[in-house]
Structure 1
Amino acid sequence: MNTEDILTYLEGKGLLSPQDSFTIVKGEEIPFLSLNMPHLLVIIHPTPEEAALFARRALAIYEDEAPVLLLAHGNILRLSLEEFSHYEAKDDFLLLFDSRKAEKRRPVPFSLSDLKGTMHTLLAPGGCPWDRKQDHRSLCTYLIQETAEVIDAIDHDDMDNLKEELGDLLFQVVFHATLAEKEGYFTMQDVEDGVNRKMIRRHPFVFDKDTSDSSVSTPEGWEKRKRIEKNRKYLLSGVPKCLPSLLLACIIQKKVGSSGLQDLLNSGEQARYERNGIPLSSCLKSDRVAEKEKKAGALLFDFVRILREEGIDPELALHRYSLDFMEKFHGFEETLEKEGHRLTDTEPEKALQLWKEYVSTH
């Protein structure tokens, strides 16, 4: 059914007149829809997952009794939003929602005041002895653990658990901010204000409509603004050296690659790597992302086994190589500056040539 057929169908049912405004979308567009549009919204044949997402989003804005119309096989089914959230469709349908006929929920202002109050009570005299003994360093383990549990909930598509684990992670953030406040460094409000200003500053292509620089929305533009803002001398300055080795290597490669210097990452060794006589790059070819990830995981798993059999700790080996690369890259940038060059102003081809010359002598 095309758009014209849908309009004719709706007009025939008395649900739309030629003078009415409307928006017609496919179910896949639900995550990006504004549900506050002041006219009729028609969603074409949403899947059960898409319909459930619409219900969750709408219920966050409108009261349970807000009307929803479902049209299928010439029949009209009138439901409330709450009823629709539990509805199991047997056939394809058109979903009609008119926000003008829906009463909005009273907004509940977001506030951390209760959680901050609880934190202050825990840290006050007579509070929790364990909490009162903690400092920023002693809490690092728990911050890592809570972050891992958030990721685990995401991996399992467990939204209820994700809500809980995000709360635990937020508690760690508030814990650190409260300790800093007691020490006179900053408050939780300073944390919120700081990150908000930073996101606006780093997205001029969104918040500054007068900008004419088309590069600001690229990864290269992001890295350049970040480096200037932080007054960092080196491209890899600010990369935490304590990261797990694989994550450290990924961040190094991403930063170097985002500056158009991907060729500098070539260690010269990968051409030798093969499996059963087939180059590893060929082993990873697949049109499906999940299949490519599975193949890549198998290759990494095999490589870990080979290294262990050689008495090499894979984590330590990659970490040492990554730190060595960072140090060498710092030295390379210093050498460029002494010769009157800047990496950010050097063409990638010229940078690669200078890099090869530097590596051959260091």
Structure 2
Amino acid sequence: MTLSRRTMIKIGGAAVALPLLGSTAFGQAEKLKIGFIYVGSINDNGYNYAHNQGRIFVQDQLGDAVETVYVENVPEGPDCERVLRELAQQGCKLIFATSFGFGDSVIKVAAQFPDVAFEHATGYMPAANVGLYNARFYEGRAVCGTIAGHMSKTGKAGYIGSFPIPEVVMGINALALSGRRVNPNFTVKPVYISTWNDPAKEADAARAMIDQGIDIVAQHTDGPAALQVAAERGIIGGFGQGADMSAFAPDTQLTAIIDNWGPHYLASAKAVIDGTWVPGNTWEGLKEEVVEMGPYNAKVPADVVADAEKVRTGQIDGSFHIFTGPIKDNTGVERVAAGVVMTDGELLSMDWYVEGVEQPA
């Protein structure tokens, strides 16, 4: 995450300065202006890139009925609050805040603009004009973990995380559980870098873990730096995050978790235009195609692809759920009894690691 942001709002392909402008119904009689704020760059080739592709999808689908604007590289904190306020003052009637740490600012600014519809990605605090939306990223990590469990020669994977929030912990645990389903001795080493996007930190973390014996790297950060290090060091491989990153490591990316936000953004925009928008709370995954898997690398053996596909399709038809007991934590305590599936509430508050995950330093 960059600690400075661009001072321009971008509309379509052009950039224009953002001057400030001095009913609670959400219907639109004129062109709907939609604002997006991103914690990183739209060129990160990952999470923020995927959200911006969703914005472009809405613009393409609705054409002259909407105008979309965005601000990238917005830090989580006071600057976010200011940007949200500026977007509302500029006439945005629908605003998407796309990072977990934007939550406090969204709640504060939304109270000041009750006629604006706000939606917060990966958030947990709703309000009268604040909706929540999320993606079941862990479903993709269950697919990745299946591949890792089969292909790792050391039985050790690394996981570069941003912050130890439930969303990230959930992903680490899904990777470990699916890997251990294949190889009971499979382990995952998590390292937190306290940012969503810092290529140097991501690369350093990947190098350090490779030096300690991991031969597959996963991540919950936004760029391809870890995959590039994996390619340089010649380990078995890794996984794209948020988007297909194979262009940066074509022989190393084994598959990718691809975020497809466009349909959600389109549905929300149409609802505001129609006057039917209400603050929802969605958490969709592979079944709804909000989470998709990238192509499998040619070096993934056919039997491994078949097992990964079984996990992917099982999560779509409901026959498989990675968080089904018995599940022990990494201290040996049973947390989930045999046959019990963890609830969404339990997953969204997850603050413990499953068996096979090294406790972060």
Say whether the fold is shared (TM-score over 0.5): no
Short-chain TM bin: under 0.3
TM-score by length of 1: 0.25
Q: In proportion to residue count, which structure has more helix?
A: 1
TM-score by length of 2: 0.25
Q: Relative contact order, CA 8 A, sep 6+: which one is greater? A: 2
Q: In proportion to residue count, which structure has more strand?
A: 2
- Max radius of gyration: which structure? 1
